[in-house]
Structure 1
C-alpha cells in the first residue's frame, strides 16, 4: 500500500519519496520516507487490510519540514464521510490521520518531522 501511496504523492507533485528508506543526508538532503510499521487484517479476511504508515519529511529548515509534513497529514485524510482516495488506477484507500507532525530529528543543516496515518484498502 505504501508503494501505491508513493505513486500518488509523486503524481501530486512531491519529489524524492522513498519507501522504507531514508537516504543519507549527505547524498539527498530533502527527502520523504514512507515506512509501513504495522499491517492488520480482520479475523474474517475479506481481502482488505489496514496499513499503518509513518511519513518522515526531511528539509533544510524546521519550518519547511513541518509545513510539508502537516500538508501531507491533511492531504491524507478521508474525513468523516470516508472519501475514497485513488492512489493509482488500481489501488484505492480510505485514509485516517493518526498522529500529527512531530519533530523526529534536528541536526546542523536539516530537520525531520514525522506523522502517522492509517490506510484501509486492498490487502
Structure 2
C-alpha cells in the first residue's frame, strides 16, 4: 500500500502513552526535519489521524504507550502493527511504500523537536470519541 493523497493512516492505540511523528527529507533545500508527539491519558482506545506535508517526502511514527497500537491506511480492513521506537518505527520513506521496522533514529535525533505542538509541518490529530465535544 502507498501513503498518498486521500489515504491517511488512522492509528488506534490502547492505554495512555504518546504517538510520536517524524517528517523528514524535505523537498525544499535546507528544510530541517521535525518531530513531535501527541499524548493520550485514556485507558481505553484512542484514535489518531496522521497527515502529511508536501514540504517533506519521508514520514515515520511510533507508539510508546502502555498497550498495543496498530494502524489502517484509509478504509483498509487489514490492521498493521505500529513500531515502538525510532529504531523500530513505522515509516513511509520517499518512495511512498510503508515499511515496518524502519530505523530513523539518526534523523529523529537531529530533527527540530516540536513537543506536543501540532502547528507547522507536524501533522497528527486526535480523533475525538464524541464530535459533539468539539465546542
TM-score (norm 1): 0.29
Higher-RCO chain (CA-CA 8 Å, sequence separation at least 6): 2
Give the structure with the larger helix fraction.
Answer: 1
TM-score (norm 2): 0.27
